[in-house]
Structures are given as C-alpha cells and as structure tokens.
Structure 1
C-alpha cells in the first residue's frame, strides 16, 4: 500500500486549502466591496427586495467575518496537516482528512441551500477525491501505531 500522498492528491489538498483561504479573504477583507457582496449575495442569498445589496451586506458583515475566520482556521489546519506529514504522518493525515471532510460537507450544504452550484462543485469534488485518497493512508498509519 502507498504510504504517502501522490502528486495529484497533494495538489487537490492544496487546492482545498487555497479554496478555504480564498473565501477567508473574500469574506473578511473584501466583503464590503460592491463587486464581492453583489456576486455572493446573488449566488447564496438573494436578499429581500426591501433591502438593497449594500444594506444587506452591511447587515451580514459580522456573520461573514465569522464565517471567513472558520475558513481561515480550516486552511491553517490543512497547512498544519501537510507540515505534520514529515513529523507524524498519523497527525498529518488526520488533519487533512478533517479539512477535506469539512470541505465536502460544506460544499454539499452550499449546493442544497443556494444557487452557487459551480462553487459547490469546486469545493466538493476536489475535496472528495482527496478524502478518498487520504483516508486509507490515515487508517494505515493508525494501524501501524497499534
């Protein structure tokens, strides 16, 4: 059995980490930019007709900051997972498994609750492929330690 990440799987994991980090940047740093909130509100939310997008963005600002930091923490978890692959493979694979599982779950919820199907696809599919490859490596490392 292969005991390390192959290049494709590592690239998928890095894509998942980048995806989380990109949404941190959009939701925390650039949220109040009209270009950003207009696109995201149209895709995710479709605000009530009584509120214009700028008012709705202002109302949701703190919520998006909170959500953005969740994304940052998952990105950091993924980076820590990659780092720990050289120190303690079980820990590294555990962190990567958690991050990929979270991306798959969040992508499914995004597809169910919004019109952001392309974003949901881009969040879910690479993470699912990476999870499919990483989880057996994680199980293998756990079995070695028992």
Structure 2
C-alpha cells in the first residue's frame, strides 16, 4: 500500500475501530456479569427463553468471555497492522488493518440483522466500513503492481 495511504481521517477511523473492539472486549469478557451490562445487552438480544436476565447472563457468561477475547484479538491485529506500517511493512500492515476493518463491518451487519442493537451495530460497522472503503482500492492497486 502506498506510504501515505493512512491519512489522518483514515487513521482516526482505524483507531475508532480498534477502540470499539477493545470496548467490546471489556464489556463481554471482563464486565459481563455486572447487572448494568447484561441487563442492557440482553434487552437487545431478545432471547426467546423464560429466564430472567441474571440467569441468562450466567448461562451465556462463557460464550461472552470467548466473544470478548475474539474482539481483543481483532484489536491487537489492528494495532500490529499500524505498527507494521510505521516500520515500512506496508503490505502486511495494510492486510491486518483491512482484516480488522472487514471483520468489524461484517460483524456489525450481523449484529444489526440479528438483534435490536442498532446503535451498537452502527458504531461497530461504520468506522471499519469507511476505513475499509478508503484503504482497499489502494491496497488492491498496489497488489496488482506486484
């Protein structure tokens, strides 16, 4: 990818995408069993079960911990991508950033289609989708030259 492909706007979008994934890691893996957290998220999920929220949260705890760590690993991939770009490893760094942005975009779309968490889905989708749309054409152009 071109050296200057990550202009300030795109950097902000990538950092927002990383921040969203770090936030989801904290919410899902660390703070999941806090009533303020699971009450809000379970409301959006609309589980078709006859369990109260504290019991649903307990049943789903391990799944949310696992999901939270996936978000952490995506954030780490994005941070590593930025670090590789700084070191001049544009192809690998760009690929990691594009992977993060694509994953965030698709996961946000799935969230919007499967729950009522539209605001969360918007904040998960838009920074990554916009960064991906700005970076991918440049990346594809560079790859076609090699």
Using the size of structure 1 for normalisation, the TM-score is: 0.92
CA deviation after TM superposition for structure 1 residue 46, in Å: 3.7
Number of corresponding residues: 144
**Once superposed, which parts of structure 1, at least 4 consecutive aligned residues long, lie more than 6 Å away?**
none
Structure 1 partner of 2:30: 29
CA distance in 2, matches of 1:85, 1:2: 8
CA-to-partner distance for each residue in 1:35-70, whole Å, 9 max, x for gaps?
A: 00000100123452x211000000000000000000
CA deviation after TM superposition for structure 1 residue 75, in Å: 0.3
Checking the alignment, whether the CA contact within 8 Å between 2:77 and 2:100 is kept in structure 1 is yes
Structure 2 partner of 1:56: 56
Provide structure 1 residue ranges, at least 5 long, that are not aligned to the other structure: none
The within-5 A match list for 1:42-81 is 42-46=43-47, 48=49, 50-81=50-81
CA deviation after TM superposition for structure 1 residue 2, in Å: 7.4
Sort the Cα spacing of 1:68 and 1:111 in 2 relative to 1 into closer, same or farther, 3 A. same
Residues 117-126 or 38-47, more deviating:
38-47
Provide structure 2 residue ranges, at least 5 long, that are not aligned to the other structure: none
CA-to-partner distance for each residue in 1:110-143, whole Å, 9 max, x for gaps?
A: 0100000111111111111100111123224424
CA distance in 2, matches of 1:51, 1:76: 35
Secondary structure of 1:85's counterpart equals helix
RMSD over aligned Cα atoms: 1.5
CA distance in 1, matches of 2:141, 2:39: 46
Using the size of structure 2 for normalisation, the TM-score is: 0.92
CA-to-partner distance for each residue in 1:72-101, whole Å, 9 max, x for gaps?
A: 000000000110112200111100000000
Checking the alignment, whether the CA contact within 8 Å between 1:23 and 1:68 is kept in structure 2 is yes
CA-to-partner distance for each residue in 1:6-45, whole Å, 9 max, x for gaps?
A: 1011000000000001000000110000000000100123
